[in-house]
Amino acid sequence: MKGTKEEVLDFLDKCELLRKSKFIMATTRIKDVLKSIVNSAALYELFHAVTANFDYVSAKRKYLITTHDGLLSRSRMVLPDSPADRLAFIFCLLVEFDHNSINFNEFLQQFFAEDGSYFSSFHSFCDKVVVSLESIVGEVFADELDENKGEAARQNGDAASREGANGASYAPNPAAAEKLSAVSLLIAREKNIISCSAMPEADKQDGISMLCELESAVREGRAQSVDAILRGYEYYSACHNGFSQLINLLSAAMEA
């Protein structure tokens, strides 16, 4: 079994391979980066902690910026100032690229237009996004990566990384982590559908509150609560012209 140092080095190697890969291999390399996260106890726990209360839908509105100048529109991506939010935002983007809920090629052409070539756009993306991802993870695990640090420092670092939201400890489970990522994205998109709908504001808040509680129940493995919330949400959807396909999509994601 690999230790924390070996797992983090493997992750950093995968990031470097992504940066140095040919554009045609980019989505495969992104998948490899995500696999290295879910296969590592320390990295899984780190990304679980930073994404636990991260509002990805709002973050996309804030950090994926499009401005209009007459008939022209320009788009750019900025990164959150907070390292935790930056990790969460980048991770969620990579998951969307992996699931093709955001087409990576189209994203590059819109937010990293450069000279119009995919080659330049991809390398600009890597310089901004992948380098930032490597830098933050390297800083978080600096003690583990420094061979001159003592065992006590490494143990302290491992203990800190195991502290998630509410001080809970989480064991890595690659299959569960992939499913959780898919479920979180489905719920985030559902929140976006509600936010953009013509529902009264109070009804929107009711739906979003149910989705937040649903996501918490899924994360915490509260199966009975998940079933109860889904039944309530199904009724909520029916009261609003049956707009939602979330239940069927969730079933497919959880069974995958």
Greatest mean pLDDT range, 1-5, 54-58, 245-249: 54-58
E-assigned strands of 12-168?
Answer: 64-69, 72-77
State residue 65's pLDDT score.
93
Query: Residue 101: what pLDDT?
Result: 87
- Taken in order 75, 80, 85, 88, the sign of the CA dihedral is positive
Q: What is the DSSP string of 209-249?
A: HHHHHHHHHHHHT-HHHHHHHHHHHHHHHHTTTT---HHHH
CB 89 within 8 A of CB 63: yes
- The reported pLDDT for the residue numbered 162 is 41
Task: Give the pLDDT band (50/70/90) at residue 153.
Answer: very low
Whether pLDDT at 123 is above 90: yes
Residue 175 has pLDDT above 70, yes or no: no
Region 181-187: what's the mean pLDDT? 71
Q: 130 and 15 in contact (C-beta within 8 Å)?
A: yes
Q: Which of 21-30, 167-176, 217-226 has the lowest mean pLDDT?
A: 167-176
Average pLDDT over residues 192-216: 85
Residue-level pLDDT at 159: 41
Q: Which residues 6+ apart lie within 8 Å of 79 measured at CB?
A: 63, 86, 89, 90, 128, 129, 132
Higher pLDDT, 179 or 219: 219
Instruction: Dump pLDDT digits (tens) for 57-93.
Output: 899 999 999 888 777 788 899 999 888 889 999 999 9
What value does the mean pLDDT of the chain take? 81
17-21, 44-48, 81-85: which is most confident: 17-21
pLDDT at 250: 72
- Quickly state the pLDDT bin for 149 (edges 50, 70, 90): very low
Res 184 pLDDT > 80: no
pTM higher than 0.85: no
Lowest mean pLDDT of 42-46, 75-79, 164-168, name the range.
164-168
* Dist CA 21 CA 233 (whole Å): 44
Q: What is the pLDDT of residue 93?
A: 93
pLDDT in the model for residue 193:
82
Given a cut of 80, whether residue 158 has pLDDT beyond it is no
